[in-house]
Amino acid sequence: MSTNEKHTENVLTLPNLSSDDNDITPSSTSPPNSVHSVDIEKKASEDHVDLEQVNLSLPAKLGHSSFTRWLYLIAFSYYRKTFTVIFVANLIAFIAFVAQNQGTPSAENVGSAASANLMVTLLFRQENFVNLVYELATDIIPLSAPLWIRRRLAKVFHYGGAHSGAGVAAVVWYIMYTALTTKDHIAHPTKWSLANVVTSYILVLMFCFILGGAHPRFRRRFHDYFEAIHRYSGWVAVCTFWMHQCFAGNQYRLLQPNPPSLGRYLISTSGFWTFVISSCCTALSWGRLRRVDVLPEPLSNHVIRLHFKYRNIKPFYGLKVSTKPLLEWHAFATVPDDDAKGKPDGFSIVISNAGDWTNDVIQNPPKKLWIRGYPLHGLLYTSKLFRKIVVVATGSGIGPPLSLFYADFTPRRIFWSTPAPETTYGSKIIDMVKKADPDAWIWDTRKQGRPDMVAVTYKLVVESGAEAVFIISNPKLTRKVVYGMESRGIPAYGAIFDS
């Protein structure tokens, strides 16, 4: 560990308080102290602190109690805030429809609202659109912008809240639409209204399957079933929706004084165009399905690195791969590869043993894999918003940051905790880590035991003057480190597992 480094923030004291490694949300009645506050934007201090000679401990957490911290940092996460904003906007639209139609909204308006929400749901799963959202949030803002703005924009990876919020709203709208169109069929029964009602109930059933299968608890315990339900129910819904559009168009155009043609009626409705966009989102992703060659590089009996040469990929992207494209897909961060002359030469992904599929890939390295969609930005893309960061990884969590290390865009300190790093991951990955940070902490848990992740991360933040922490780990440890930093005023980001 290097010493006598200058801080890039105005740090005046180093609190000597006890660590809380095993306490996630303790209450604190002492005044909050933090080396990271609004003062982080001030001129760098000229004081030198030799961290090897200082007994650096964690300061008290911010806030009045553990309950208020839980509300602010966990209960009201940006994911849930985004979900709530989407849902409230839909509630306002519903009230407007009711007021406009003197108590009962029209089926056409409700159907258009359902289709609009379905479009938003699918847009936030379409790779090019999500990449655009990342780039708008990250690339336009200069590093000279206040930290309070940049730390909030870095929460863009919570876009899953928009996907789920609009998805739930679409189901609610469509249940309402089905009730209204059933009422209209009873009042004016025709063959078109009957067909509309039947397809509406099929769509409601498919949407309920999708919504039920996406519940976080079911998704975690039965992930393969979740994927199958989501995919096949979605495909049935898309096909049924196109038939439903025609049936509904014929039903409601005939109720007009001078009925237009079906085509003219459809193109005059907003619901038709929003569903065209929704269909294009699905078609664009699956239209990029292809089977490509793979060059496997076994690193150990626990880890394998797969190289792809069919195209080059820039840093900060991820890709979905599969051996059975109709059944399951697995997303991995990509790492650009260079040839002997240092020129771009494809990319690679690092896979560790984390389940049946990954174990099979490691034990039986594939020669070909299916890929789908466009490369997608991930959490670490937002690291570009900060002047300096601390990267924390455990085990195979070092895979995604390798792309960040390759880009060499943001200065960083690295803390990697893993069992037998040299034996498990090989010298190439060790060299990439050390090249990115010559003073990187590579913690061998087999020799050194389990580290206090929060305390070590905090020490690196203080030592380097970093503005933010990024962690790639398992859900439990990710939540612990993110909470441990955020509760002390330090921006911290880790993958979310309910998107």
- pLDDT value of residue 498: 53
Average pLDDT over residues 55-67: 77
**pLDDT digit string (tens) for 98-118?**
888 777 888 888 999 999 999
pTM of the model: 0.84
pLDDT band of residue 42 (cuts 50, 70, 90) is very low
Average pLDDT over residues 306-330: 93
pLDDT exceeds 90 at position 361: yes
- pLDDT value of residue 16: 36
For residue 85, count other CB atoms closer than 10 A to its CB: 13
Average pLDDT over residues 423-429: 92
pLDDT exceeds 80 at position 489: yes
pLDDT band of residue 56 (cuts 50, 70, 90) is low
User: What are 27's two structure tokens?
Assistant: 């209450």
DSSP codes of every residue in 310-344: SS---SSEEEEEESSTTT--EEEE-EEEE-TTS-E
Radius of gyration (C-alpha) of the chain in whole angstroms: 26
143, amino acid identity: L
pLDDT exceeds 60 at position 44: no
User: What are 169's two structure tokens?
Assistant: 């709203």
DSSP codes of every residue in 60-108: PPSSSSHHHHHIIIIIT-HHHHHHHHHHHHHHHHHHHHHHHTTTS--HH
- pLDDT value of residue 497: 65
Determine contact, residues 76/83, Cβ cutoff 8 Å. no
Distances (CA, A) of 94 to 172, 270, 466, 477: 11, 16, 46, 41
Distances (CA, A) of 66 to 70, 72, 77, 120, 206: 6, 10, 16, 36, 41
Average pLDDT over residues 234-263: 90
pLDDT exceeds 90 at position 35: no
DSSP codes of every residue in 441-466: EEEEHHHH----HHHHHHHHHHHHT-
pLDDT exceeds 70 at position 458: yes
- pLDDT value of residue 376: 95
Q: What percent of the chain has pLDDT over 70?
A: 88
- pLDDT value of residue 58: 82
- pLDDT value of residue 22: 37
* 3-class state of residue 183 by DSSP: helix
pLDDT exceeds 90 at position 436: yes
Q: What is the mean pLDDT of the chain?
A: 85
